[in-house]
Structure 1
Protein backbone atom coordinates (compact mmCIF):
# COMPACT_ATOMS: atom_id res chain seq x y z
CA UNK A 1 0.00 0.00 0.00
CA UNK A 2 1.15 3.54 -0.67
CA UNK A 3 0.70 6.52 1.65
CA UNK A 4 -2.95 6.89 0.57
CA UNK A 5 -3.75 3.25 1.29
CA UNK A 6 -3.94 2.30 -2.40
CA UNK A 7 -2.01 -0.73 -3.65
CA UNK A 8 1.46 0.06 -4.96
CA UNK A 9 1.88 -0.12 -8.71
CA UNK A 10 3.95 -3.19 -9.57
CA UNK A 11 6.85 -2.45 -11.90
CA UNK A 12 9.20 -5.02 -13.42
CA UNK A 13 12.67 -3.89 -14.54
CA UNK A 14 14.36 -6.21 -17.06
CA UNK A 15 18.04 -5.43 -17.54
CA UNK A 16 21.21 -7.53 -17.46
CA UNK A 17 23.21 -4.62 -15.99
CA UNK A 18 23.12 -4.96 -12.20
CA UNK A 19 24.23 -1.38 -11.62
CA UNK A 20 21.52 0.00 -13.90
CA UNK A 21 18.95 -2.20 -12.17
CA UNK A 22 20.02 -0.92 -8.76
CA UNK A 23 19.72 2.70 -9.83
CA UNK A 24 16.31 2.18 -11.38
CA UNK A 25 15.06 0.21 -8.40
CA UNK A 26 16.15 2.88 -5.92
CA UNK A 27 14.60 5.66 -7.99
CA UNK A 28 11.26 3.93 -8.49
CA UNK A 29 10.94 2.58 -4.96
CA UNK A 30 11.54 6.12 -3.68
CA UNK A 31 8.46 7.10 -5.70
CA UNK A 32 6.40 4.48 -3.89
CA UNK A 33 6.38 1.71 -6.49
CA UNK A 34 6.92 -2.00 -5.91
CA UNK A 35 9.87 -3.04 -8.09
CA UNK A 36 10.91 -6.52 -9.27
CA UNK A 37 14.35 -6.84 -10.90
CA UNK A 38 14.94 -9.52 -13.55
CA UNK A 39 18.09 -10.09 -15.58
CA UNK A 40 16.75 -11.62 -18.81
CA UNK A 41 13.73 -12.02 -21.01
CA UNK A 42 13.43 -15.69 -20.12
CA UNK A 43 13.15 -14.77 -16.44
CA UNK A 44 10.53 -12.16 -17.33
CA UNK A 45 8.35 -14.65 -19.19
CA UNK A 46 8.61 -17.13 -16.33
CA UNK A 47 7.72 -14.37 -13.85
CA UNK A 48 4.66 -13.25 -15.83
CA UNK A 49 3.36 -16.82 -15.94
CA UNK A 50 2.57 -16.60 -12.24
CA UNK A 51 2.68 -12.90 -11.33
CA UNK A 52 0.98 -9.73 -12.51
CA UNK A 53 2.59 -6.38 -13.26
CA UNK A 54 1.40 -2.87 -14.07
CA UNK A 55 4.37 -1.83 -16.21
CA UNK A 56 7.51 -3.44 -17.64
CA UNK A 57 10.66 -1.35 -18.03
CA UNK A 58 12.71 -3.14 -20.63
CA UNK A 59 16.30 -2.84 -21.86
CA UNK A 60 16.80 -3.61 -25.55
CA UNK A 61 20.18 -5.33 -25.03
CA UNK A 62 19.66 -8.48 -22.96
CA UNK A 63 21.25 -11.91 -22.59
CA UNK A 64 19.24 -14.42 -24.62
CA UNK A 65 16.10 -13.01 -26.19
CA UNK A 66 16.57 -9.32 -26.92
CA UNK A 67 14.23 -6.57 -25.78
CA UNK A 68 12.69 -5.93 -29.20
CA UNK A 69 11.62 -9.55 -29.60
CA UNK A 70 10.30 -9.61 -26.04
CA UNK A 71 8.29 -6.48 -26.71
CA UNK A 72 6.80 -8.05 -29.83
CA UNK A 73 5.75 -11.11 -27.82
CA UNK A 74 4.33 -9.10 -24.94
CA UNK A 75 2.47 -6.50 -26.99
CA UNK A 76 0.88 -9.23 -29.09
CA UNK A 77 -0.98 -10.40 -25.97
CA UNK A 78 -3.71 -8.00 -24.84
CA UNK A 79 -3.51 -9.39 -21.29
CA UNK A 80 0.08 -8.21 -20.87
CA UNK A 81 1.02 -4.94 -19.14
CA UNK A 82 2.35 -1.91 -21.01
CA UNK A 83 6.03 -1.80 -21.94
CA UNK A 84 8.48 1.09 -21.67
CA UNK A 85 11.97 0.76 -23.13
CA UNK A 86 14.80 2.08 -20.94
CA UNK A 87 17.52 1.51 -23.47
CA UNK A 88 21.22 1.92 -24.08
CA UNK A 89 20.47 2.12 -27.82
CA UNK A 90 19.95 5.75 -28.77
CA UNK A 91 19.55 5.83 -32.55
CA UNK A 92 16.33 7.06 -34.14
CA UNK A 93 15.97 3.69 -35.87
CA UNK A 94 16.04 1.87 -32.52
CA UNK A 95 13.45 4.22 -31.04
CA UNK A 96 11.16 3.82 -34.02
CA UNK A 97 11.54 0.02 -34.01
CA UNK A 98 10.74 -0.10 -30.28
CA UNK A 99 7.59 1.95 -30.71
CA UNK A 100 6.59 0.01 -33.84
CA UNK A 101 6.87 -3.20 -31.81
CA UNK A 102 4.15 -1.85 -29.54
CA UNK A 103 6.01 -0.18 -26.68
CA UNK A 104 4.24 2.70 -24.98
CA UNK A 105 7.40 4.76 -24.62
CA UNK A 106 11.16 4.71 -25.21
CA UNK A 107 13.72 6.56 -23.10
CA UNK A 108 17.49 6.44 -23.61
CA UNK A 109 20.21 6.02 -20.99
CA UNK A 110 21.51 8.14 -19.41
CA UNK A 111 18.18 9.76 -18.59
CA UNK A 112 16.89 12.48 -16.33
CA UNK A 113 15.40 10.93 -13.18
CA UNK A 114 12.57 13.44 -13.32
CA UNK A 115 11.77 12.60 -16.93
CA UNK A 116 11.76 8.86 -16.36
CA UNK A 117 9.44 9.14 -13.35
CA UNK A 118 7.13 11.46 -15.30
CA UNK A 119 6.94 9.03 -18.19
CA UNK A 120 6.24 6.09 -15.86
CA UNK A 121 3.44 8.05 -14.19
CA UNK A 122 1.97 8.99 -17.57
CA UNK A 123 1.82 5.37 -18.76
CA UNK A 124 0.29 4.16 -15.50
CA UNK A 125 -2.25 6.97 -15.52
CA UNK A 126 -3.35 6.15 -19.06
CA UNK A 127 -3.61 2.45 -18.24
CA UNK A 128 -5.65 3.15 -15.10
CA UNK A 129 -8.08 5.32 -17.02
CA UNK A 130 -8.83 2.36 -19.26
CA UNK A 131 -9.07 -0.29 -16.56
CA UNK A 132 -12.20 -2.49 -16.70
CA UNK A 133 -15.18 -0.54 -15.43
CA UNK A 134 -13.89 2.75 -16.79
CA UNK A 135 -16.67 5.07 -17.96
CA UNK A 136 -15.30 5.98 -21.37
CA UNK A 137 -18.22 4.57 -23.35
CA UNK A 138 -17.75 3.62 -26.97
CA UNK A 139 -17.33 5.41 -30.30
CA UNK A 140 -18.57 4.39 -33.76
CA UNK A 141 -17.00 5.56 -36.99
CA UNK A 142 -16.71 4.20 -40.51
CA UNK A 143 -17.03 0.40 -40.10
CA UNK A 144 -15.53 0.38 -36.61
CA UNK A 145 -16.63 0.44 -32.98
CA UNK A 146 -14.01 1.61 -30.49
CA UNK A 147 -14.12 0.51 -26.83
CA UNK A 148 -11.52 2.63 -24.94
CA UNK A 149 -12.10 0.95 -21.56
CA UNK A 150 -11.37 -2.46 -23.05
CA UNK A 151 -8.63 -1.12 -25.38
CA UNK A 152 -10.36 -2.78 -28.32
CA UNK A 153 -11.66 -2.14 -31.82
CA UNK A 154 -14.40 -4.22 -33.46
CA UNK A 155 -15.07 -4.23 -37.17
CA UNK A 156 -18.46 -4.67 -38.85
CA UNK A 157 -18.09 -8.45 -38.77
CA UNK A 158 -17.47 -8.48 -35.02
CA UNK A 159 -13.76 -9.22 -35.25
CA UNK A 160 -11.83 -7.78 -32.29
CA UNK A 161 -8.48 -6.03 -32.52
CA UNK A 162 -6.53 -5.33 -29.35
CA UNK A 163 -4.87 -1.93 -28.88
CA UNK A 164 -1.93 -0.92 -26.72
CA UNK A 165 -2.49 1.79 -24.13
CA UNK A 166 -0.73 4.35 -26.34
CA UNK A 167 -2.79 3.39 -29.37
CA UNK A 168 -5.94 3.63 -27.28
CA UNK A 169 -4.98 7.05 -25.94
CA UNK A 170 -4.19 8.33 -29.43
CA UNK A 171 -7.39 7.01 -31.01
CA UNK A 172 -9.37 8.49 -28.12
CA UNK A 173 -7.82 11.88 -28.87
CA UNK A 174 -8.81 11.55 -32.53
CA UNK A 175 -12.42 10.43 -31.97
CA UNK A 176 -12.95 13.18 -29.42
CA UNK A 177 -11.69 15.75 -31.97
CA UNK A 178 -12.94 14.42 -35.31
CA UNK A 179 -12.41 16.37 -38.54
CA UNK A 180 -10.11 18.77 -36.67
CA UNK A 181 -6.45 19.20 -37.69
CA UNK A 182 -4.32 18.25 -34.70
CA UNK A 183 -0.64 19.14 -34.51
CA UNK A 184 1.86 16.69 -33.02
CA UNK A 185 2.22 19.00 -30.01
CA UNK A 186 -1.56 19.04 -29.54
CA UNK A 187 -1.71 15.26 -29.77
CA UNK A 188 1.08 14.99 -27.22
CA UNK A 189 -0.88 17.27 -24.89
CA UNK A 190 -4.02 15.16 -25.36
CA UNK A 191 -2.23 11.84 -24.82
CA UNK A 192 0.69 12.53 -22.48
CA UNK A 193 -0.35 15.85 -20.97
CA UNK A 194 2.24 17.54 -18.81
CA UNK A 195 4.47 14.47 -19.07
CA UNK A 196 5.23 15.11 -22.76
CA UNK A 197 8.68 16.38 -23.65
CA UNK A 198 10.09 18.53 -26.45
CA UNK A 199 11.08 16.74 -29.67
CA UNK A 200 9.02 13.66 -28.77
CA UNK A 201 8.30 12.06 -32.15
CA UNK A 202 6.58 8.94 -30.81
CA UNK A 203 3.25 10.25 -32.17
CA UNK A 204 4.31 9.41 -35.73
CA UNK A 205 5.10 5.80 -34.81
CA UNK A 206 1.83 5.40 -32.91
CA UNK A 207 -0.13 6.85 -35.84
CA UNK A 208 1.59 4.39 -38.18
CA UNK A 209 0.65 1.43 -35.98
CA UNK A 210 -2.90 2.68 -35.51
CA UNK A 211 -3.36 3.08 -39.27
CA UNK A 212 -2.28 -0.53 -39.80
CA UNK A 213 -4.79 -1.81 -37.26
CA UNK A 214 -7.54 0.25 -38.91
CA UNK A 215 -6.56 -1.06 -42.34
CA UNK A 216 -5.73 2.49 -43.37
CA UNK A 217 -3.37 2.57 -46.38
CA UNK A 218 -0.10 4.15 -45.22
CA UNK A 219 0.51 5.82 -48.61
CA UNK A 220 -3.07 6.95 -49.16
CA UNK A 221 -4.77 6.97 -45.72
CA UNK A 222 -8.50 7.50 -45.58
CA UNK A 223 -9.24 7.59 -41.84
CA UNK A 224 -6.21 9.34 -40.33
CA UNK A 225 -4.83 11.71 -42.94
CA UNK A 226 -1.65 13.71 -42.71
CA UNK A 227 -2.34 17.43 -42.50
CA UNK A 228 0.81 18.71 -44.19
CA UNK A 229 2.58 21.33 -42.12
CA UNK A 230 0.22 20.69 -39.21
CA UNK A 231 -0.03 17.10 -38.07
CA UNK A 232 -2.97 14.74 -38.57
CA UNK A 233 -6.72 14.83 -39.06
CA UNK A 234 -9.31 12.15 -38.28
CA UNK A 235 -11.58 12.49 -41.31
CA UNK A 236 -14.73 10.59 -40.29
CA UNK A 237 -17.64 11.78 -38.20
CA UNK A 238 -17.92 9.94 -34.86
CA UNK A 239 -20.98 8.70 -33.01
CA UNK A 240 -20.42 8.35 -29.24
CA UNK A 241 -22.26 5.53 -27.52
Structure 2
Protein backbone atom coordinates (compact mmCIF):
# COMPACT_ATOMS: atom_id res chain seq x y z
CA UNK A 1 0.00 0.00 0.00
CA UNK A 2 1.26 3.46 -0.89
CA UNK A 3 1.55 6.44 1.40
CA UNK A 4 -1.79 7.96 2.34
CA UNK A 5 -2.43 11.61 1.50
CA UNK A 6 -5.35 13.56 2.97
CA UNK A 7 -6.69 15.96 0.32
CA UNK A 8 -8.63 18.74 2.04
CA UNK A 9 -10.31 21.32 -0.20
CA UNK A 10 -13.86 22.63 -0.47
CA UNK A 11 -13.78 22.50 -4.29
CA UNK A 12 -14.80 19.05 -5.50
CA UNK A 13 -13.09 19.43 -8.89
CA UNK A 14 -9.77 20.30 -7.26
CA UNK A 15 -10.00 17.30 -4.91
CA UNK A 16 -10.83 14.98 -7.82
CA UNK A 17 -7.98 16.36 -9.95
CA UNK A 18 -5.42 15.98 -7.15
CA UNK A 19 -6.61 12.51 -6.18
CA UNK A 20 -6.56 11.25 -9.77
CA UNK A 21 -3.00 12.44 -10.27
CA UNK A 22 -1.76 11.10 -6.94
CA UNK A 23 -3.31 7.69 -7.59
CA UNK A 24 -1.35 7.53 -10.84
CA UNK A 25 1.78 8.42 -8.84
CA UNK A 26 1.23 5.49 -6.47
CA UNK A 27 -0.31 7.32 -3.50
CA UNK A 28 -3.48 6.41 -1.62
CA UNK A 29 -5.84 9.26 -0.75
CA UNK A 30 -8.62 10.20 1.65
CA UNK A 31 -10.56 13.45 1.33
CA UNK A 32 -12.48 16.15 3.18
CA UNK A 33 -14.34 19.22 1.98
CA UNK A 34 -14.09 21.47 5.05
CA UNK A 35 -11.93 22.05 8.11
CA UNK A 36 -14.18 20.26 10.59
CA UNK A 37 -14.30 17.13 8.42
CA UNK A 38 -10.53 17.35 7.96
CA UNK A 39 -9.88 17.27 11.70
CA UNK A 40 -12.19 14.26 12.09
CA UNK A 41 -10.42 12.56 9.17
CA UNK A 42 -7.02 12.97 10.81
CA UNK A 43 -8.41 11.60 14.08
CA UNK A 44 -9.80 8.46 12.46
CA UNK A 45 -7.40 7.58 9.63
CA UNK A 46 -3.73 6.79 9.26
CA UNK A 47 -2.41 9.63 7.11
CA UNK A 48 1.18 10.28 6.01
CA UNK A 49 0.71 13.86 4.76
CA UNK A 50 -2.06 16.47 4.62
CA UNK A 51 -2.76 18.82 1.71
CA UNK A 52 -4.78 21.54 3.45
CA UNK A 53 -6.64 24.34 1.70
CA UNK A 54 -6.76 27.66 3.55
CA UNK A 55 -10.13 29.10 2.48
CA UNK A 56 -12.80 26.61 3.55
CA UNK A 57 -16.25 26.69 5.19
CA UNK A 58 -17.01 25.79 8.84
CA UNK A 59 -13.33 25.99 9.80
CA UNK A 60 -10.56 27.57 7.73
CA UNK A 61 -7.24 25.90 7.05
CA UNK A 62 -5.35 27.84 9.71
CA UNK A 63 -7.73 26.77 12.48
CA UNK A 64 -7.78 23.21 11.13
CA UNK A 65 -3.97 23.22 11.23
CA UNK A 66 -4.06 24.22 14.92
CA UNK A 67 -6.40 21.32 15.66
CA UNK A 68 -4.36 18.84 13.59
CA UNK A 69 -1.17 19.81 15.43
CA UNK A 70 -2.89 19.02 18.74
CA UNK A 71 -4.11 15.63 17.50
CA UNK A 72 -1.04 14.49 15.57
CA UNK A 73 1.81 16.91 15.99
CA UNK A 74 4.26 15.05 13.75
CA UNK A 75 2.14 14.68 10.62
CA UNK A 76 3.50 16.83 7.76
CA UNK A 77 1.13 19.47 6.38
CA UNK A 78 1.31 21.44 3.12
CA UNK A 79 -0.98 24.46 2.91
CA UNK A 80 -2.82 25.11 -0.37
CA UNK A 81 -3.67 28.77 -0.77
CA UNK A 82 -4.99 31.11 -3.44
CA UNK A 83 -3.36 33.97 -1.56
CA UNK A 84 0.09 35.00 -2.74
CA UNK A 85 0.86 37.54 -0.01
CA UNK A 86 4.03 36.72 1.93
CA UNK A 87 2.28 37.31 5.27
CA UNK A 88 -0.19 34.48 4.63
CA UNK A 89 2.59 32.06 3.74
CA UNK A 90 4.60 32.99 6.82
CA UNK A 91 1.52 32.70 9.04
CA UNK A 92 1.05 29.11 7.91
CA UNK A 93 4.71 28.30 8.63
CA UNK A 94 4.55 29.99 12.03
CA UNK A 95 1.54 27.86 12.91
CA UNK A 96 3.40 24.64 12.08
CA UNK A 97 2.88 24.00 8.37
CA UNK A 98 5.83 22.30 6.68
CA UNK A 99 5.36 24.01 3.32
CA UNK A 100 2.87 25.98 1.26
CA UNK A 101 1.97 26.05 -2.41
CA UNK A 102 -0.02 28.81 -4.12
CA UNK A 103 -2.91 28.10 -6.49
CA UNK A 104 -2.93 27.62 -9.39
CA UNK A 105 -0.18 24.98 -9.33
CA UNK A 106 0.88 22.15 -11.61
CA UNK A 107 0.35 18.58 -10.47
CA UNK A 108 4.01 17.82 -11.10
CA UNK A 109 5.07 20.67 -8.81
CA UNK A 110 2.64 19.54 -6.12
CA UNK A 111 3.92 15.95 -6.25
CA UNK A 112 7.54 17.14 -6.15
CA UNK A 113 6.89 19.34 -3.12
CA UNK A 114 5.04 16.48 -1.40
CA UNK A 115 7.93 14.08 -1.94
CA UNK A 116 10.42 16.66 -0.65
CA UNK A 117 8.37 17.16 2.54
CA UNK A 118 7.94 13.40 3.01
CA UNK A 119 11.69 12.86 2.57
CA UNK A 120 12.65 15.44 5.14
CA UNK A 121 10.05 14.28 7.67
CA UNK A 122 10.79 10.56 7.29
CA UNK A 123 12.81 9.25 10.28
CA UNK A 124 15.54 7.51 8.32
CA UNK A 125 16.52 10.82 6.72
CA UNK A 126 18.00 11.90 10.04
CA UNK A 127 21.73 11.24 10.34
CA UNK A 128 21.37 9.16 13.49
CA UNK A 129 24.39 8.76 15.74
CA UNK A 130 25.25 5.40 17.23
CA UNK A 131 23.66 6.55 20.53
CA UNK A 132 19.89 6.70 20.61
CA UNK A 133 19.97 9.68 23.00
CA UNK A 134 21.45 12.99 21.92
CA UNK A 135 21.99 15.17 24.99
CA UNK A 136 23.02 18.81 24.75
CA UNK A 137 22.77 20.68 28.04
CA UNK A 138 19.14 20.49 29.16
CA UNK A 139 18.00 19.27 25.75
CA UNK A 140 17.46 15.53 25.33
CA UNK A 141 16.64 14.14 21.86
CA UNK A 142 15.56 10.52 21.55
CA UNK A 143 16.59 9.56 18.02
CA UNK A 144 14.61 6.32 18.04
CA UNK A 145 11.27 7.74 19.24
CA UNK A 146 11.76 11.28 17.80
CA UNK A 147 10.86 12.84 21.12
CA UNK A 148 12.51 15.96 22.50
CA UNK A 149 12.63 17.11 26.11
CA UNK A 150 14.01 20.24 27.72
CA UNK A 151 14.60 20.04 31.47
CA UNK A 152 12.62 16.77 31.28
CA UNK A 153 9.57 18.56 29.84
CA UNK A 154 8.34 17.16 26.46
CA UNK A 155 8.31 19.55 23.50
CA UNK A 156 5.70 19.64 20.76
CA UNK A 157 7.85 20.05 17.62
CA UNK A 158 6.76 19.86 14.02
CA UNK A 159 8.70 17.43 11.77
CA UNK A 160 10.65 20.33 10.20
CA UNK A 161 11.51 21.86 13.58
CA UNK A 162 12.67 18.46 14.81
CA UNK A 163 14.98 17.95 11.87
CA UNK A 164 16.44 21.45 12.17
CA UNK A 165 17.19 20.80 15.84
CA UNK A 166 18.81 17.42 15.18
CA UNK A 167 20.86 18.79 12.25
CA UNK A 168 22.25 21.61 14.38
CA UNK A 169 22.64 19.65 17.62
CA UNK A 170 24.53 16.75 16.04
CA UNK A 171 27.41 19.08 15.16
CA UNK A 172 27.73 21.74 17.87
CA UNK A 173 29.78 24.74 16.82
CA UNK A 174 29.38 24.11 13.11
CA UNK A 175 27.94 27.11 11.30
CA UNK A 176 25.23 26.29 8.77
CA UNK A 177 24.42 28.91 6.19
CA UNK A 178 20.73 29.35 5.49
CA UNK A 179 21.19 27.64 2.13
CA UNK A 180 23.02 24.68 3.72
CA UNK A 181 20.32 24.30 6.35
CA UNK A 182 17.57 24.59 3.74
CA UNK A 183 19.25 21.92 1.61
CA UNK A 184 19.88 19.60 4.56
CA UNK A 185 16.46 19.94 6.15
CA UNK A 186 14.08 20.84 3.33
CA UNK A 187 15.83 19.83 0.11
CA UNK A 188 17.47 21.84 -2.65
CA UNK A 189 14.12 22.59 -4.29
CA UNK A 190 13.55 25.08 -1.47
CA UNK A 191 16.84 27.00 -1.56
CA UNK A 192 15.09 30.12 -2.83
CA UNK A 193 12.84 30.20 0.25
CA UNK A 194 15.46 31.38 2.74
CA UNK A 195 12.98 33.40 4.78
CA UNK A 196 11.00 30.28 5.59
CA UNK A 197 14.01 28.70 7.35
CA UNK A 198 14.21 31.80 9.55
CA UNK A 199 10.55 31.32 10.47
CA UNK A 200 11.09 27.65 11.37
CA UNK A 201 14.17 28.52 13.48
CA UNK A 202 12.24 31.30 15.24
CA UNK A 203 9.44 28.85 16.06
CA UNK A 204 11.99 26.30 17.30
CA UNK A 205 13.65 28.85 19.58
CA UNK A 206 10.31 29.72 21.19
CA UNK A 207 9.95 26.07 22.17
CA UNK A 208 13.55 25.20 23.09
CA UNK A 209 14.87 28.38 24.68
CA UNK A 210 13.81 29.81 28.03
CA UNK A 211 14.56 33.29 26.63
CA UNK A 212 14.28 33.18 22.82
CA UNK A 213 15.58 36.76 22.56
CA UNK A 214 18.82 35.63 24.25
CA UNK A 215 19.21 32.00 23.12
CA UNK A 216 21.36 29.56 25.01
CA UNK A 217 21.51 26.92 22.29
CA UNK A 218 20.50 28.10 18.80
CA UNK A 219 22.59 31.09 17.81
CA UNK A 220 22.40 33.35 14.80
CA UNK A 221 25.67 33.93 12.97
CA UNK A 222 24.84 37.29 11.45
CA UNK A 223 25.08 37.47 7.71
CA UNK A 224 25.62 33.70 7.45
CA UNK A 225 23.14 31.44 9.24
CA UNK A 226 22.93 29.44 12.46
CA UNK A 227 24.95 27.24 14.80
CA UNK A 228 24.27 25.16 17.90
CA UNK A 229 26.41 25.97 20.90
CA UNK A 230 25.49 25.82 24.54
CA UNK A 231 25.83 29.16 26.32
CA UNK A 232 26.58 28.49 29.96
TM-score (norm 2): 0.89
Structure 1 residues 118 and 138, CA, compared in 2 at 3 Å: closer, same or farther?
farther
Q: Residue in 1 aligned with 2:104?
A: 110
1:66 is matched with which residue? 60
Aligned-pair distance for 1:26?
A: 2.3
Task: Name the residue aligned to 1:99.
Answer: 93
Alpha-carbon spacing, 1:50–1:77, altered in 2? closer, same or farther (3 Å): closer
**1:148/1:168 contact within 8 Å kept:** no
Alignment partners' CA distance in 1, 2:106 and 2:222 = 33
Preserved CA contact (<8 Å) 2:15 2:31: yes
Stretch moving more, 66-75 or 77-86: 77-86
2:155 aligned with 1:177, yes or no? no
Pair 161,213 (structure 1): closer, same or farther in 2 beyond 3 Å: same
Question: Superposed, which structure 2 residues align to 1:205-220 within 5 Å?
Answer: 205-220=199-214
Deviation readout 1:131-152 (Å, 9 max, x if unpaired): 9xx9662211121101244332
Aligned to 2:145: 150
Q: Which runs of 5+ in 1 are unaligned?
A: 1-6
Separation (CA, whole Å) in 2 of partners of 1:49 and 1:186: 36
Deviations 1:103-125 (A, max 9, x none): 11111112243332122112222
**More off after superposition, 101-110 vs 60-69:** 101-110
Q: CA deviation at 1:79?
A: 5.6
Q: Aligned match of 1:51 in 45, 70, 79?
A: 45
Aligned residue in 2 for 1:21 = 15
Equivalenced residues, count: 228
Instruction: Give the TM-score taking structure 1 as reference length.
Output: 0.86
> Gaps spanning 5+ residues in structure 2: where?
none
Deviating beyond 4 angstroms after TM superposition, the runs of 4 or more aligned structure 1 residues are none
Residue number in structure 2 paired with 1:235: 229
Give the whole-Å Cα distance in 2 for the aligned partners of 1:214 and 1:66: 29
The answer on 1:36 being equivalent to 2:30 is yes
Contact 2:218 2:226 in 1 (8 A): yes
* Aligned-pair Cα RMSD in Å: 2.2
Alignment-derived partner of residue 126 in structure 1 = 120
